[in-house]
């Protein structure tokens, strides 16, 4: 239980006819958190965001915003604001009028709201852009305007619907850092929807992983990565090796399914003996992919399963690693690095 | 950019130029003839070359009270039909665009049907319906008749505009605290304004020169096109009729010209805003 959560979902479902877009979700998001909803498309993350914003209503259950039941309030009566995926700037207004829109609707006098607009343009590092039209701005700049337009209203919670999706990689990485800094500066709760696991891990305090309308796991980025609770999370966030049945028993003494990350596996060529206390399996290298910074091996374990192993090229060259193909190896890892899956 | 592309495009062949010229002449020569014979001193015959030159028919036409009555009536009908069309057409377009209900496609088709149907069919249908409901034929029945096809024009224009504007814009406005009315006033209306203007002008022009539906829905009223039509049986008034026809051409030409210009400009700038 989180003390005084910013957002609380109480058994929330959203069904569209037969389709259960969101099904019986319970969730608490803390005050001032940078919280990500991560999942593939159609997993229900965007529907959850739209229900917080008020564009959608829960079929069942309730949504609380700082202990106030907002489930049936229209969007314009909720103290939350959204940054849309396509930015949704008003093309017929200048940047200044776009950003001031919320204050204009509230009836703030023009001189006062223009002062606030200037502050916001400074916050998103676009000073002097007020008189332009959205069509004269680049994608990254429109993105910042959309952010300023939402933040100027001092919402209690800011919702971001895949806001970086349309940007190229370099700009996206830059905006990730910037968003995080802005969040620290304004200190309000950010709820960030994304399908990009790396993005979620980079920026979030906590992540909820969605699949088929349900939350698979909620936790810090390291929890999600190092201790995936389900097979889905293990597969969706990063690459993971799943080991079960007979082979699992050989490695751990129990037939329970577990997952292990490729970089946690140590690859031992003949002669090497694993350190004391390490779990181990024997296998044969089937494939080697040299990737510069690191090398990816595909190792076939006796009994049929293939494991992916990643090793940094600390001492090896491409010649060394490529010659490993076909060799017998011993895979070993620290028992703490495996994660037993719930389902 | 259109100016640049026309520079680089190859020149049209003489055959194509000739064909285009021929088509234009075919469409426009009759109108010039009408204009020409507003200037003839002969009352009842079309002789060429003109036996003389006079502008007196313009003066005569302006002093005919029956002409003025018809002109005013046509203006009123067109104006009210356009207003009705603007309101209903916008609502219909908004409904078809925004919500996904059962039979949406059929409704869209049914809305466009009146303009595709022959006017005579619409006319007889309206006359039967109005007669059957015991509504007296009057000014308002003409307006209703004209509104049926004016709505379509506005509907088409506004729907096309809706389809090109971002749907999240409306959500963004509500998210920023604006209720439905404020959202319509500050976001929707400015975005469809030029579509409304273009659709409205076209609707006005359509209503202004409509004959067939008017014949079926009018009582004792004579709109301008009907007045012109009735003039055919009075050969001695021919130059006056031609004067009126020329005025009608001018009145319909201007709104259509501007409507086209507005639509073209809107689609020029539109590509950049998404």
Q: Could you read off the pLDDT of A138-155 as tens digits, one per residue?
A: 888 999 999 999 999 999
Mutate: best of A76, A148, A165, partner B, most B CBs <10 A: A76
Same domain, A186 and A89: yes
CA distance A19 to chain B (A): 16
In a domain, A23, yes or no: yes
Other C-beta atoms closer than 10 Å to the C-beta of A46 total 22
Chain-chain contact of A55 with B177 (C-beta, under 8 angstroms): no
Is residue A247 within 8 Å of A303, Cβ to Cβ?
Answer: yes
Task: Tell whether B158 is covered by a domain.
Answer: yes
CA gap B273, A30 in Å, rounded: 37
Q: Verify that A203 and A261 share a domain, yes or no.
A: no
Q: Which of residues 133-172 of B touch A (CB under 8 A)?
A: 165-166, 168-169, 171-172
Q: Are residues A160 and A268 in the same domain?
A: no
Q: What's residue A142's pLDDT?
A: 92
Can you give the length of chain A in residues? 343
Assess whether A34 and A120 both reside in one domain.
yes
Is A108 within 8 Å of chain B by CB? no
Q: A129 and A262: one domain?
A: no
The beta-carbon neighbor of B177 closest among A86, A89, A105 is A105
In A, which residues are within 8 Å of B179 by CB distance? 74, 76
- pLDDT tens track for A10-42: 999 999 888 899 999 999 999 999 999 999 998
> Residues A242, A246, A248, CA angle at the centre, nearest 5°?
40
Interface test with A, best of B99, B166, B177 (most A CBs within 10 A): B177
A187 three-class SS: coil
Asked if residue B5 has pLDDT above 60, the reply is no
**Does residue A106 belong to the interface with chain B, where contact is any CB pair within 8 Å?**
yes
Alpha-carbon distances of B4 from A124, A241, B8, B17, rounded to whole Å:
38, 58, 7, 21
CB contact, 8 Å: B186 with chain A? yes
Cβ contacts of residue A263 below 8 Å, gap of 6+?
A310, A311
Higher-scoring residue by pLDDT: B185, A166: B185
- Does residue A246 lie within any of the structural domains? no
Instruction: For residue A25, give the 3-state DSSP assignment.
Output: strand
**Average pLDDT of the segment spanning B202-226:** 85
Give the sign of the dihedral formed by CA A181, CA A184, CA A186, CA A188: positive
Say if residue A102 is in the same domain as residue A174. Answer: yes
Would you call A269 an interface residue with chain B, using a CB distance cutoff of 8 Å? no
Let me know whether A100 and A176 are in one domain.
yes
Size of interface A-B (CB pairs under 8 A): 69
Contact A76 B177 (CB under 8 A): yes
The answer to the question of residue B19 being in a domain is no
Residue B45 lies in a domain: no
Identify the residue with better confidence: B265 or B28.
B28
A28 and A160 both lie in a single domain: yes
Q: Provide the domain limits for residue A301.
A: 251-340
Three-class SS string for chain B?
A: CHHHHHHHCCCCCHHHHHHHHHHHHHHHHHHHHHHHCCCCCCCCCCCCCCCCCCCHHHHHHHCCHHHHHHHHHHHHHHHHHHHHHHHHHHHHHHHHHHCCCCCHHHHHHHHHHHHHCCHHHHHHHHHHHHHHCCCCCCHHHHHHHHHHHHHHHHHHHHHHHHHHCCCHHHHHHHHCCCCHHHHHHHHHHHHHHHHHHHHHHHHHHHHHCCCHHHHHHCCCCCCHHHHHHHHCCCHHHHHHHHHHHHHHHHHHHHHHHHHHHHHHHHHHHHHHHC
Length of chain B (residues) = 274
Is residue B102 in a domain?
Answer: yes
The values of phi and psi at residue B239, to 5°, are: -60, -35
Residue B5 falls inside a structural domain: no
Q: In this structure, are A27 and A133 located in the same domain?
A: yes
- Asked whether the predicted pLDDT for residue B259 surpasses 80, the reply is no
Cβ separation of B173 and A55 shorter than 8 Å?
no
Q: Is residue B2 part of a domain?
A: no
pLDDT digits (tens, 9 = 90+) for A47-57: 999 999 999 99
Examine residue A212 and state whether it is found in any structural domain, yes or no: yes
Domain that holds residue B90: 56-269
Distance from CA of A184 to the nearest CA of B (A): 22
Tell me whether residue A1 is in a domain: no
B110 belongs to a structural domain = yes
The tens digit of pLDDT for each residue in A258-277 reads 888 888 888 887 666 766 66
Does the beta-carbon distance from A86 to B175 stay under 8 Å? no
**Calpha distance B112→B1 (Å, rounded):** 33
The residues, ordered by sequence, that sit 6+ positions from B147 with a Cβ below 8 Å of its Cβ are: B81, B84, B85, B88
In tens, the pLDDT along A81-122 reads 999 988 899 999 999 999 999 999 999 999 999 999 999 999
pLDDT bin (cut points 50, 70, 90) of residue B267 is low
B171/chain A closest Cα distance in angstroms: 7
Same domain for A44 and A76: yes
Pick from A239, A231, A203: nearest CA to A38 = A203
Same domain, A19 and A163: yes
Q: What is the pLDDT averaged over residues B185-189?
A: 91
Q: Is residue B41 part of a domain?
A: no
A278 plus A182 within the same structural domain: no
CATH of the domain at B194: 1.10.3720.10
- How many structural domains are present in chain A? 2
| Nearest-Cα residue of chain A relative to residue B171 | A55
Question: Residue A214 is part of a domain; what is its CATH number?
Answer: 3.40.50.300
| ipTM here | 0.81
Instruction: Provide the domain count of chain B.
Output: 1
All residues of chain B having their beta carbon less than 8 Å from the beta carbon of residue A135 are: 269, 272-273
A161-210 pLDDT per residue, tens:
998 887 888 888 888 988 999 999 889 999 999 999 889 998 999 999 99
């Amino acid at each position: 239980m989180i003390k005084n959560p910013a957002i609380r979902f109480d058994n929330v479902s959203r069904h569209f006819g037969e389709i259960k877009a969101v099904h019986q979700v319970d969730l608490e998001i803390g005050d001032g958190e940078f919280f990500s909803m991560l999942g593939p498309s159609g997993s229900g993350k965007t529907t959850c965001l739209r229900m917080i914003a008020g564009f959608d209503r829960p079929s069942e259950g309730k949504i609380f915003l700082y202990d106030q039941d907002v489930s049936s309030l229209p969007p314009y009566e909720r103290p939350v604001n959204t940054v849309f995926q396509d930015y949704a700037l008003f093309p017929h207004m200048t940047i200044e009028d776009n950003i001031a829109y919320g204050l204009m609707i509230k009836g703030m006098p023009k001189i006062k709201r223009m002062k606030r607009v200037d502050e916001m343009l400074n916050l998103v590092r676009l000073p002097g852009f007020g008189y332009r039209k959205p069509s004269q701005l680049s994608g990254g700049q429109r993105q910042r305007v959309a952010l300023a337009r939402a933040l100027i209203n001092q919402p209690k919670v800011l919702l971001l619907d895949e806001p970086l999706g349309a940007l190229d990689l370099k700009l996206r990485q830059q905006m990730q850092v910037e968003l995080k800094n802005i969040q620290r500066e304004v200190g309000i709760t950010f709820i960030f929807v994304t399908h990009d696991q790396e993005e979620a891990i980079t920026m979030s305090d906590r992540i909820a992983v969605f699949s088929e309308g349900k939350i698979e796991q909620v936790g810090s980025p390291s929890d999600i990565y190092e201790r995936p609770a389900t097979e889905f999370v293990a597969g969706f966030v990063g690459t993971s090796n799943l080991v079960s049945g007979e082979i699992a028993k050989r490695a751990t003494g129990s037939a329970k399914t577990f997952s292990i990350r490729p970089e946690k596996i140590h690859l031992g060529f003949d002669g090497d003996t694993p350190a004391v206390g390490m779990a181990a399996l024997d296998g044969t290298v089937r494939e080697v992919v040299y990737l510069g910074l690191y090398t990816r091996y595909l190792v076939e374990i006796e009994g049929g399963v293939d494991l992916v192993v990643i090793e940094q090229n600390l001492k090896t060259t491409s010649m060394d690693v490529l010659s490993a193909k076909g060799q017998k190896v011993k895979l070993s890892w620290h028992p703490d690095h495996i994660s037993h899956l719930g389902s | 950019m259109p100016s640049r592309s026309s520079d680089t495009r190859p020149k049209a062949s003489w055959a194509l130029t000739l064909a285009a010229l021929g088509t234009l002449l075919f469409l426009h020569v009759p109108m010039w003839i009408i204009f020409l014979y507003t200037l003839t001193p002969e009352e009842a015959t079309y002789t060429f070359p003109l036996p003389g030159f006079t502008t007196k028919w313009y003066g005569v036409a302006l002093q005919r009270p029956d002409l003025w009555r018809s002109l005013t009536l046509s203006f009123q009908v067109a104006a009210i039909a356009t207003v009705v069309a603007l309101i209903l057409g916008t609502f219909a377009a908004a409904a078809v665009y925004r919500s996904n209900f059962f039979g949406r496609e059929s409704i869209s088709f049914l809305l466009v049907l009146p303009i595709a149907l022959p006017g005579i069919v619409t006319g007889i249908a309206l006359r039967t319906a109005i007669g059957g409901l015991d509504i007296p034929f009057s000014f308002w029945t003409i307006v209703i008749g004209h509104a049926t096809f004016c709505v379509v024009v506005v509907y088409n224009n506004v729907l096309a505009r809706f389809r090109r504007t971002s749907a999240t814009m409306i959500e963004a406005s509500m998210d920023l605290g604006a209720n439905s009315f404020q959202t319509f006033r500050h976001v929707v209306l400015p975005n469809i304004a030029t579509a409304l203007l273009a659709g409205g002008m076209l609707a006005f022009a359509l209503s202004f020169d409509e004959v067939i539906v008017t014949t079926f829905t009018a009582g004792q009223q004579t709109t301008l096109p009907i007045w012109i039509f009735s003039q055919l049986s009075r050969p001695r008034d021919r130059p006056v009729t031609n004067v009126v026809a020329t005025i009608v051409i001018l009145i319909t030409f201007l709104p259509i010209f501007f409507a086209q210009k507005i639509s073209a400009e809107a689609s020029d700038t539109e590509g950049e805003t998404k």
